[in-house]
Amino acid sequence: MHPDPVRAVSFFVAEVTPQTKWTFVEVETRAGLRGLGEATLDAQEGAVSDAAEALAGAALGWVHSDPAMLPAILPAELPQAAALSAFDQALWDIAAKRRGVALSQALGGARRDTVKVYANINRRTRERSPAAFAASARAAVEAGHDAVKLAPFDEVDVTACRAGSYDLLCPGLDRISAVRAAIGPSVGVMVDCHWRLDPAAADHVIGAAGELGVRWIECPLPETPDNIAAIVRLRGVANRHGMVLAGLETTIGLASFMPFIRAGAYDVIMPDIKYVGGLAEFARLADALRGAGIGLSPHNPSGPVSQVASLHFCAATAEDCLLETQFDETRLFGALVGDVSNGTTHGRMPVPPGPGLGLELDREALGPRLVMDWRRETDRR
């Protein structure tokens, strides 16, 4: 293989709604191949940019554009992990394009051409009433989804729970109840608690959610080492109420997942392609989860590049895992990539055929929304 060094790196952030910014990395090689990655991390765009700039400086000196050139030691902090993971996605995109195959094929072979998905309706629901959540859930079902997820506990945090302010849980439970009533018993309802509860409040929420036919409880407690035993206990409580317990969406690297895996803390673990530390690390984690009998369901509530990369990863995994997808937060999602990853039927989404990710970003559509945009390149021939 002839060397094809990195010629340029671009980094750009677009404000796609008042509450959401998407962050992207594009890597270009001397031969003209371009690869995309996503590094979206809420409210930390500046830190991600700094980390990406440091990686760009190193990448412009590489003799070849290959994921193996990235640092072997994973960072401990999310901004650095997001930047590294985005570079990794982009370099895998390039590697697959160089071979003329889809990313899923480059990852070991596509085992399926559609992936099981569910709709995260949370960011679509800007007006946070029970009726608005119900409307979002109905829209998702009409669009072909057979499961929806909401994060209903806006009024709650751990401090309030410790003070015994359980009345603050009532608005969230009302939102869950409205969603269940709107979509009926056959559609799955999943609840993300965003680490807002303490153990006693989590017991209360799980009991109430069980009565509403919720099938999934996510991130009830802060995911610290001293909470592992409490999370293990909550898994048992959730299972007795007919639900699975899921979590670990912001964890970096297999080693950081292992204490939770060994303890059996969760039924389902939710690595995010933007933070896990690269696709090879993601694959090692998937193998570890399979060996431990723990489910894999990638976290993916962000932009179109991470969605398509996640679809390709799920297409290549041994298990037909369930992928989170953001639902209808903004029409830009499809417009930016030509709707290549849209079209859910009976809870399954097609995987773009490639080559690579099989998408290109429409930079003109992003233009008016860019809040950060830089490019670094080399004159090396």
Q: Give the confidence band of 200 by pLDDT, cuts at 50, 70, 90.
A: very high
Model pLDDT, residue 189: 99
Residue-wise pLDDT tens digits, 51-90: 999 999 999 988 888 898 999 899 999 999 999 999 999 9
Among 191, 171, 185, CA closest to 130: 171
In the predicted structure, residue 134 carries a pLDDT above the cut 90 = yes
Is residue 268 within 8 A of residue 298, CB to CB? The reply is no
> Span 293-316, mean pLDDT?
98
How far is it, in rounded angstroms, from Cα 239 to Cα 193? 17
- β-partners of residue 244 are 216
6-100+362-377: in CATH 3.40.1350.10: no
Model pLDDT, residue 340: 67
User: What is the 8-class DSSP label of residue 356?
Assistant: B
- List the domain boundaries for the chain: 6-100+362-377, 106-350
Average pLDDT value for the chain: 96
Query: What is residue 357's three-state secondary structure?
Result: coil
Model pLDDT, residue 336: 86
> Span 172-185, mean pLDDT?
99
Residue-wise pLDDT tens digits, 3-22: 899 999 999 999 999 999 99
For 175, 193, 202, 227, 313, the CA distances from 198, given in Å and listed in that order, are 20, 11, 6, 10, 34
Q: What is the reported pTM?
A: 0.97
Residue-wise pLDDT tens digits, 139-166: 999 999 999 999 999 999 999 998 888 8
Token pair listed for 161:
């729970």
Model pLDDT, residue 355: 97
Model pLDDT, residue 39: 99
Amino acid at residue number 315: A
CB atoms within 10 A of CB 163: 10
In the predicted structure, residue 283 carries a pLDDT above the cut 90 = yes
Model pLDDT, residue 1: 57
Query: Which is more confidently placed, 367 or 42?
Result: 42
Model pLDDT, residue 186: 97
Q: Give the confidence band of 295 by pLDDT, cuts at 50, 70, 90.
A: very high
Which residues, 6+ apart, have CB-to-CB distance to 166 below 8 Å? 201, 204
For 154, 164, 364, the CA distances from 201, given in Å and listed in that order, are 14, 8, 47
Is residue 81 within 8 A of residue 277, CB to CB? The reply is yes
Model pLDDT, residue 338: 76
Model pLDDT, residue 286: 98
User: Which of the residue ranges 19-33, 136-150, 334-348 would you say has the lowest mean pLDDT?
Assistant: 334-348
Q: Give the confidence band of 334 by pLDDT, cuts at 50, 70, 90.
A: confident
Model pLDDT, residue 68: 87
Model pLDDT, residue 380: 62
Residue-wise pLDDT tens digits, 221-263: 999 999 999 999 999 999 999 999 999 999 999 999 999 999 9
> Span 263-288, mean pLDDT?
98
Model pLDDT, residue 379: 74
Q: Give the confidence band of 341 by pLDDT, cuts at 50, 70, 90.
A: low
Model pLDDT, residue 342: 64
Could you give the strand order of the β-sheet that contains 20-29, starting from the edge strand earlier in sequence? 34-38, 20-29, 6-17, 370-377
Residue-wise pLDDT tens digits, 319-332: 999 999 999 999 99
What top-level class would CATH report for the domain 106-350? alpha beta
The DSSP element (H or E) to which 231 belongs, if any, is: helix 228-240
Transcribe 267-321 into DSSP letters.
SEE--BTTTSS-HHHHHHHHHHHHHHT-EE--B--S-HHHHHHHHHHHHHSSS--
Query: What is residue 199's three-state secondary structure?
Result: helix
In the predicted structure, residue 304 carries a pLDDT above the cut 70 = yes
